[in-house]
Amino acid sequence: CLWCYTNNTCMEYPVRSILPSSSLCSLSNARWGVCWINFEALIIALAVVAGLILLSITVCCCYCCYCRRRSRSRLDEEEEQLARKREERRLQSLQRKHERKLKHDEIRKKYGLLQDSDNPYSRFENE
């Protein structure tokens, strides 16, 4: 139903066109379905709602893409930091191992347990 306030008539809605033609009734005076829904207000309201939906979808997509990129860069930074710490611990471990070896060699040398590295072959002593 299309109600026109200019001539106070109710006519069948022109289904073939989305909006009624101005020859039938002007948009400011045309009402749809029930008498209180103005066509101009309906078009403006639908346009605003559609615009808000599109804007919110765009904002959500941009925010999600930004967060993903940011979280990926954070993960990369954390991974690099962990790799650096791992390498530092490995180097410290090697250094401590070398220090222990030197200390043990000194003790072995002190008690005569260290083989002479210049002459790896030694004579067996019979007791």
Give pLDDT tens digits along the chain (127 positions).
777 777 777 777 777 777 777 777 777 777 776 667 777 888 889 999 999 999 999 998 888 887 777 767 777 788 899 999 999 999 999 999 999 999 999 888 888 887 665 555 555 566 5
Please check whether residues 6 and 55 belong to one and the same domain: no
Q: Are 65 and 26 within one domain? A: no
Residues 83 and 57 in one domain: yes
78 domain residue, yes or no: yes
Please indicate, yes or no, whether residues 88 and 49 belong to a single structural domain of this protein.
yes
Q: What is the pLDDT of residue 31?
A: 78
pLDDT of residue 104: 92
Q: In this structure, are 58 and 99 located in the same domain?
A: yes
Q: How many residues does the chain have?
A: 127
127: in domain: no
Helix and strand numbers (H, E) in the chain are 1, 3
100 & 57 share domain: yes
17: containing domain: 1-35
| Confidence at residue 125, expressed as pLDDT on a 0 to 100 scale | 64
Examine residue 3 and state whether it is found in any structural domain, yes or no: yes
Count of domains forming the chain: 2
Residues 71, 18: one domain?
A: no
Q: Are 115 and 122 in contact (CB under 8 A)?
A: yes
Whole-number CA gyration radius for the chain: 44
Edge to edge, what strands does the sheet with 2-4 contain?
Answer: 9-11, 2-4, 30-32
